[in-house]
Chain A
Amino acid sequence: MRRRAGALGVLSVLIVLALLVPRFGGDYYVHIFALVFTNVILAASLRPSLTCGQLNIGHSAFMSIGAYASALLAKNLAVPFELSLLGGAVLATLVGVVIGYPSLRLRGVYFAMVTVAFVEVIRLIAQLWVSLTRGMSGLSGIPKPNLLGMTLTTKAGQYYLGLALMLIVLLILWKLEHSRLGLIWKSIGMADNLAQSLGVDIARHKLLAFMLGCFFAGIAGAFYAHFIRFLFPPEFGFLMATNILVYNYVGGRGHFAGAIVGAIFLSLLSEPFRGSPYETIFFSIAMLLTILFLPGGLITLPEKLAGLRRWRAAAAPTPSPAA
């Protein structure tokens, strides 16, 4: 109970801080943090699949589908943002079902390999279908997001939209993870044969978890498209996909907060090198170090430090009475 109250306290402080960013930070910070929100949504949306034990290294493909679909709907058909956002997410989910259904029957490494190929395929389609996506010239002129017919012209307005989207997505995903559904996902990840023997239709649940991930990755992509207003196929390649995975591992996979902590920590820390090879170098080193030395991720760091302090205290020489 006290832990829960503490977590809620930390959460409300963070939300208040996030609300204050546009007031006190400049456009630079607004921009950076809005991108962080996208990354948080992406990282959290990978959790259902990861919890089921599916190593999905292709998540950026679905972000890309959401981004292109929403951008094209708004740009070519003047669809309002609310609907194009939904359209992007639904299309990402549909494509997810089409490629996910056959591949989810594969276990472990087989699945991981196929997801890598997802990314390439979606990227190639975006690259080759020039009449629709403008291919390697990039898609520009994407309308700014609008809500209830009002266009959000300022970066700050768009920032609040991103914050709201992130909070809604996190709330839904958190709720699902802490429901029976989440427990079932966990059970599949821990021992899928036992789960089956208790009547869990693991194929259906894996697909459901995967579809949820695609849907919310589509949401993240759609927001990204209308915020950055320029889409370029290689942006959504293998690196982006691994980054989403890295957020989860570096943050810690054992707890919902891990995805959030990982996404925020790595996005902010790598900000100075954004777009350069050093960003990736930094990411991969962070990843290797975490896996080798902090397998539980950053969220287990306080625990580890406490353990270390106890161990130090115990090992410290006590004054001997004989002296």
Chain B
Amino acid sequence: MPLLETRDLTRHFGGLAAVNHVDLTVEKGEIVGLIGPNGAGKTTCFNLLSGFLRPTAGSIAFDGEDITGRRPHQIAARGLVRTFQLTTLFQEMTALQNVLLGLHLHSGTGLRQLLFSRRDFPPDEVARGREALEFTGLAAHADQLTKNLPHGHQRVLGIAMALAARPRLLLLDEPVTGMNLDESGRVMDLVKTIRGHGTTILLVEHNMKAVMGTCERIVVLNFGQKLSEGTPSEVSTSRDVIQAYLGTGVNHA
């Protein structure tokens, strides 16, 4: 049974089909890339999978359970966690606080603990939060305000937060867009390490070098429809794909 499976997934905006009859499957342990020219429906697809948009038609199953129409927090609670493009973070909080919020799903808080505990957070949670920062190489910045972190660190922090929520499937929305070669290489290594720890990954990315070098399988969307699917080499030599990207210049490694 695939970890994620969509059937006929469709979303209309007005008369326009942003995502049109897309069947997408992700198997446990894979790193899958979702690519396509601008406006192909990748972001809409992510918003549908994570519950921020309701599909007009079709279904989404996660680990065998139908999650169509569930709300974002319910989907996150089942282990399907997403990141956001650019730097959607809690900017006025420290890096550690950001990660602690990621732990939200796995901490039971009673009123008694809220009112009468001496500490804001139990020490074991703080330790787990620091662990997540350590794992992503941000340990040294734990107590810095997020808005003061360099851009690259902010992006990684977004991933660290999602990891703290203990995803079984992690959706990464453009994790390396706008990074230089060195930074994007490190983030992609991190992505592989995360997979090594048992988390399945589906990512949207414009940086073709990063996608081709990291993903085992690639799904290409165009005008809201699935255009092609296969290994990086299959996809990058596909006539349809080259056609779709003509003008934007596909640059395969």
Do A and B interact directly, with beta carbons closer than 8 Å?
A: yes
Give chain A's interface residues, CB within 8 Å of chain B: 172, 175-176, 178-181, 183-184, 186-187, 190-191, 193-202
B contact residues, total (Cβ < 8 Å): 36
Within 8 Å CB of B127, what residues of A?
none
Task: Given A172-B115, A180-B114, verify A191-B104 contact (CB < 8 Å).
Answer: no
> Does B76 contact A197, Cβ atoms closer than 8 Å?
yes
Cross-chain contact B88 with A198 (CB below 8 angstroms): no
Closest B residue to A254 by CB, please name it: B92
Q: Is B165 an interface residue (CB 8 A)?
A: yes
A193 to B89, CA, bound (A): 10
Name A192's closest neighbour in chain B (CB-CB).
Answer: B72
- With an 8 A cutoff between CB atoms, is B193 at the interface? no
Cβ-neighbour of B114 out of A175, A191, A199 (below 8 A): A175
Inside 8 A of B162's CB, which chain A residues have their CB? 197-198
Are A200 and B52 CB-contacts (below 8 A) given A186-B93, A193-B84? no
In addition to A175-B115, A187-B90, A195-B101, 17 A-B residue pairs with Cβ atoms within 8 Å of each other are A179-B113, A179-B114, A179-B115, A179-B120, A181-B109, A183-B93, A184-B101, A186-B93, A190-B93, A191-B88, A191-B90, A196-B51, A196-B71, A197-B50, A198-B81, A198-B162, A199-B81
Give the one of A172, A184, A195 with max B CB within 10 A: A195
Residue among A178, A181, A186, A196 with max Cβ neighbours from chain B (10 Å): A196
B residues in contact with A191, CB < 8 Å: 88-90
Q: Which residues of B contact A199 (CB under 8 A)?
A: 73, 76-77, 81, 104-105, 165
Contacts A197-B76, A198-B105, A201-B73 given; indicate if A178 touches B120 (C-beta within 8 A).
yes
**Cα distance A202–B74 when bound, in Å?**
11
Considering only residues 57-74 of chain B, those with a C-beta below 8 Å from chain A are 71-73
Chosen A-B contacts, 22 in total, with CB atoms closer than 8 Å, are A172-B115, A175-B115, A176-B115, A181-B109, A183-B93, A183-B120, A186-B90, A187-B93, A190-B92, A191-B88, A193-B84, A197-B50, A197-B81, A197-B162, A198-B101, A198-B161, A198-B165, A199-B105, A200-B73, A200-B101, A201-B71, A202-B73
Q: Which 9 A-B residue pairings sit nearest by Cβ, starting from the closest?
A: A199-B105, A196-B72, A199-B76, A179-B114, A201-B73, A190-B90, A199-B73, A199-B77, A194-B88
**Nearest CB on B from A51, distance (A):** 11
How many angstroms between the C-alpha atoms of A72 and B77 in the bound complex? 46
B86 to chain A: closest CB distance in Å?
11
Asked if A194 contacts B89 (CB within 8 A), the reply is yes
Shortest CB–CB separation between residue B17 and chain A, in angstroms? Answer: 23
Interface assignment of B91: CB less than 8 Å from any CB of chain A: yes
Check if B107 is an interface residue, CB within 8 A of chain A.
Answer: yes
B121 within 8 A of A: yes
Contacts of A195 in B (CB 8 A): 101
B201 at the interface (CB under 8 A from A): no
The reply to whether A176 and B52 form a contact with Cβ atoms under 8 Å apart is no
Q: Which residues of A contact B72 (CB under 8 A)?
A: 193, 196-197
Verify A197–B104 contact, CB threshold 8 A. Answer: no
Does the CB pair B82–A197 fall under 8 Å?
A: yes
| A200 to B73 CA separation, bound complex (whole angstroms) | 5
In the assembled complex, B95 has its CB within 8 A of some CB on chain A: no
Residue in chain B with minimal CB distance to A172 = B115
Known: A190-B93, A198-B81. A183 touches B100 (CB 8 A): yes
Report B-chain residues with C-beta under 8 Å of the C-beta of A180.
100, 104, 107, 109, 114, 120-121
Chain B CB within 10 A, most for which of A179, A184, A200, A202 = A179
Tell me if B236 is interfacial: C-beta within 8 Å of chain A: no
Max chain A CB contacts within 10 Å: which of B81, B109, B114, B161? Answer: B114
Smallest beta-carbon distance A187→chain B, Å = 5
How far in angstroms is the closest Cβ of chain A from B13? 18
Is the CB–CB distance between A181 and B114 below 8 Å? Answer: yes
Q: Assess A193 versus B52: contact at CB under 8 Å? Given A183-B100, A202-B73.
A: yes
Q: In the assembled complex, how far is the CB of residue B101 from the closest CB belonging to chain A, in whole angstroms?
A: 5
Q: How far is the CB of B199 from chain A (nearest CB, A)?
A: 15
**Shortest distance between the CB of B112 and any CB in chain A (Å):** 11
Q: Please, which residues of chain A bring their CB within 8 A of the CB of B207?
A: none
Which residues of A have CB within 8 Å of B109? 179-181
> What 0/1 pattern do residues 153 to 169 of B give for CB contact below 8 A with A?
00000000110110000
Question: At the interface, yes or no: B175 with Cβ under 8 Å from chain A?
Answer: no
**Across the interface, do B88 and A183 meet the contact criterion of CB distance under 8 Å?**
no
Closest residue of chain A to B171 (Cβ to Cβ) is A197
Query: Are B102 and A198 neighbours in the complex by a CB distance under 8 Å?
Result: yes
| B104 and A184 contacting across the interface, CB-CB below 8 Å | yes
Give the most central of B72, B93, B113: most A CB within 10 Å: B72
Say yes or no: is B97 at the interface (Cβ < 8 Å to chain A). Answer: yes
Contacts of A193 in B (CB 8 A): 52, 72, 84, 88
B90: A residues at CB distance < 8 A: 186-187, 190-191, 194
Contacts of B91 in A (CB 8 A): 190
**Which chain A residue lies CB-closest to B107?**
A180
Query: What CA separation (Å) do A196 and B76 show in the bound complex?
Result: 8
- Residues in A with CB closer than 8 Å to B84 are 193-194, 197
Least distance between B115 CB and chain A CB atoms (Å)? 5
